[in-house]
Amino acid sequence: MAKFQYYTQERFDELKAELHYLKFVARADMSNQIAEARDKGDLSENAEYDAAKDAQGLMEMKISKMEAIVGNARVLDESNIDTSQVSILSKVKIKNVKNGIEKIYTIVSEEEADLMAGKISNSSPYGKGLFGKKVGDIAQIQAPAGVMEFEILEISR
């Protein structure tokens, strides 16, 4: 059974563009490289041909994987995000109960996660711990340093 991943429209468009590039530009370039290598003589002793064929196999696997990702992608309408509780694409302001440090994170799919940009995966320990919580709730999250508690201060989109 397929596992759906949820994306913003922007990220979905990026995935489709990457797939299009791989299928129609990179695949043609790879065919040209194989043809050039084939023209260099005996295929049984042609390392350049072997390398090009290996690279083609890897690219075809990547295309197949990208097709599956795009096929199982679901675009979320950000205007319909329920801000009464933490869900995918929610922007959450949290406060560490122990030290009072406040952070803002956006809950995204695994493929979109980027901690430096404040985007955490819905399947990460933090994402799972925050999911479904409401403003005022305390989320207990199992971190490498032990259980941490965060108060949900604000939920927006």
Q: What is the pLDDT of residues 33-51, one digit of tens each?
A: 888 877 877 666 778 888 8
89, burial (CB in 10 Å: exposed 0-12, middle 13-18, buried 19+): buried
Q: How far apart are CA 115 and CA 14, in angstroms?
A: 19
Q: What is the DSSP string of 42-88?
A: -GGG-HHHHHHHHHHHHHHHHHHHHHHHHHTEEE--GGG--TTS--T
Q: Cα–Cα–Cα angle for 45, 46, 51, nearest 5°?
A: 130
CATH number of 79-156: 3.10.50.30
Alpha helices, H only, 2-46? 9-21, 27-38
Which residues in the chain are classed under CATH 3.10.50.30?
79-156
Which residues in the chain are classed under CATH 1.10.287.180?
5-75
pLDDT of residue 66: 94
Work out the pLDDT band at 63, boundaries 50, 70, 90.
very high
Work out the pLDDT band at 15, boundaries 50, 70, 90.
very high
Distance between terminal CA atoms of the chain? Answer: 30
The overall average pLDDT reported for the chain is 88
Q: How far apart are CA 77 and CA 52, in angstroms?
A: 42
pLDDT of residue 157: 80
Q: Is the pLDDT of residue 1 over 70?
A: no
**What is the CATH T-level fold of the domain 5-75, as seen in this structure?**
Helix Hairpins (1.10.287)
